[in-house]
Amino acid sequence: MLFLSYIALSIINHFRKRNDWSQQAVEESALKLTNKLVRYPHIDVDRAFEKEDGLLQQIQAGEIGQALMLWQAKTPTLVLPAGKKWPVTIESRKQLEAQGWQLSSRKTGGAPVPQLPGVINLSHIYHWPRDEAYNIQKAYRHLCDVLT
């Protein structure tokens, strides 16, 4: 299981990625692999999500053990969560564009999140053992361990 954490002063969201690979092989290879740190000081939000997907694929392929991606939005963007509660509509897109904002959606749940230049996001992408229940406190401690 892979996890991606978005941090902007606090953890905003976590999500799981499909498990199409051998669990044992991923766990064994993750111990031998290097870490990756990437930085995008000004990036379109949709492009940042594409970059995260690319890092997820590298971890799934066993090319890297974990990744940290620091990024900030190039333009003000409202990111809507997956689901029917917050649909991206033509009308909402037009209203936001009239105020200088873009509208995007992500694959995960939660609440709408404004992304602005100056807000630094930290995406922590890594393997979570399949046989271990997800625990946000443990995930946060793992992130702090990586950062120290």
Q: How do the pLDDT tens digits run along the chain, 148 residues long? A: 444 444 433 233 333 333 444 444 445 544 556 899 999 999 999 999 999 999 999 999 999 999 999 999 999 999 999 888 888 889 999 999 999 999 998 888 788 999 999 999 999 999 888 899 999 999 999 999 988 8
Query: Total structural domains in the chain?
Result: 1
Given this model, what pLDDT does residue 13 score?
31
User: pTM (2 decimals)?
Assistant: 0.74
Q: pLDDT at position 23, please?
A: 47
d(CA 19, CA 58): 14
Residue whose entry in the numeric block shows the structure tokens 């990756």 = 36
DSSP 102: E
Domain range for 103: 2-147
Q: What pLDDT, on a 0 to 100 scale, did the predictor assign at position 109? A: 77
Model pLDDT, residue 5: 46
Q: Residue 62, by phi and psi: left (phi above 0), alpha (psi -120 to 50) or beta?
A: left
